[in-house]
Amino acid sequence: MGYFPKDKYILAVRKKQEFSHPRLPYAKNGFRYNSYRYYLEDLFGEAVQRISLEGGFTCPNRDGSLAYGGCIFCNNESFSPPYNRGDIDIRSQLEAGVAYLSQRFEARRYLAYFQSYTNTYKPLAELEKLYRQALDHPLVAGLAISTRADCLPDELLQLLRDISQNHYLNLEIGIESFYDRSLEWMNRRHSSATTIKSIEKAAAYGLNLSGHLILGLPEESKGMMLKEAEILNKLPVKLIKLHHLQIIEKTLLAQLYARTPFPLFEYENYLQFVAQFISHLRPEIVIQRFFTETPKSYLIAPIWGKRSAEIVMDMQRYMHEADLWQGKAVS
C-alpha cells in the first residue's frame, strides 16, 4: 500500500490532506479523528505529556483474590518506559520522567499516569497518598489512572470526584472486549455487564472516562468488533484507547501462540479495519491511540517494522484516500 511519505514530505502531505468537520474539534493537521494530542493542547493551552508511574500495584486476577497469573497477554515490563522503576518513590519517578521526556518533547506540563497493573487496587488511604504525592509536583497538571471495571468501589469514586474538582483527572477503564467469551479466554475474571455497569456508575460521579479496547482477539470477527463501536457509542466515555492484539514475551499468551498459532492483524489490514472502526465511533469521542508499540525485545508477533510516526501518517493518508472520518458511519 505504501501510505507513508518520506519525512521531508510530511508537511506537504498534511497540507494537501487538510480536513475539518464541525463535530470534530480535535481533528487537526490532516487528522480525520479527534486526536488526544490536540485535545490536551486545547484543554491546557500547551503541549502535555504523560509520565508513566509504578505505584506498587497488583491485580485481583493476579494475587489470588479472583485468580492467579493475570490477563494472559500482560507483561507490564513490555510497556514500562526506561525511567520507570517501581523501587523509587513517586516524586523521584516524576523527576526522572520529566528529565527523560523533556529531552524528547517540548512539553512543560505533564500528567502523572498510574499505568501498571490495577491502579485503584489498594486501601483508600494509600491510594489518596499516592495520587496526592503526584499532584504535589509543580509540573504535574493532573492524573491519569488505569484500572479494571471491578475495582471501582463507591468510596474510591468519591475520592476521584473530590480530586477532579481541582485537578484534571482521567480514569481509564480496561474494557478489552465486550464479549464474555473473550474475557474468559484472557483470564479477565469479570463480565462485560460488570464493565458497562462500572462505566455508567463512574460517569454518574462526573468523572472523565476513557476505555481501553483490544482489536483482533481470537474468534472475534470484524463484524463483532464493529459492533463494539456501537456499544461504545452508547456509553458515557469521553476517550478511547485502541490497540491490536500482540504476542508478548513471558506471557501465557506467548505459550498458547507457540503451541497453536492463530491469525493476527497484518499491517495494511489493520489500518483499513481500524479506520472503519473509527468511522463508526460517535464524533464526541477523543482517540488516545489506535495502535500500541512494543519494544522489539519483547514483541513476538505481529512484527510490522513500523515506527509510531509512520503508523500515524499512514493512517492519515489512508483515511484521506478512502474518504473516511470519525463518525462518518454513525447515523
Quick check: is 226 in a domain? yes
What are 53-69's pLDDT values in tens digits? Answer: 999 999 999 999 999 99
Q: Residue 3: its pLDDT value, please?
A: 44
Q: Residue 76: its pLDDT value, please?
A: 82
Q: Residue 105: its pLDDT value, please?
A: 82
Q: Which residues in the chain show pLDDT less than 50?
A: 1-9, 12
The tally of domains found in the chain comes to: 1
What are 135-190's pLDDT values in tens digits? Answer: 999 999 999 999 999 999 999 999 999 999 999 999 999 999 999 999 999 999 99
Quick check: is 324 in a domain? no
Quick check: is 18 in a domain? no
Quick check: is 319 in a domain? no
Q: Residue 102: its pLDDT value, please?
A: 85
Quick check: is 2 in a domain? no
Quick check: is 15 in a domain? no
Q: State the SS3 of the chain.
A: CCCCCCHHHHHHHHHHCCCCCCCCCCCCCCCCCCEHHHHHHHHHCCCEEEEEECCCCCCCCCECCCCECCCCCCCHHHHCCCCCCCCCCHHHHHHHHHHHHHCCCCCCEEEEEECCCCCCCCCHHHHHHHHHHHHCCCCEEEEEEEECCCCCCHHHHHHHHHHHCCCEEEEEEEEECCCHHHHHHCCCCCCHHHHHHHHHHHHHCCCEEEEEEEECCCCCCHHHHHHHHHHHHCCCCCEEEEEECCEECCCHHHHHHHHCCCCCCCHHHHHHHHHHHHHCCCCCCEEEECCCCCCCCCEEECCCCCCHHHHHHHHHHHHHHCCCCCCCCCC
Q: Residue 78: its pLDDT value, please?
A: 72
CATH number at residue 237: 3.20.20.70
Quick check: is 275 in a domain? yes
* C-alpha dihedral sign at 254, 223, 215, 246: positive
pTM above 0.95, yes or no: no
Quick check: is 317 in a domain? no
Residue range(s) defining the domain that contains residue 64: 32-310
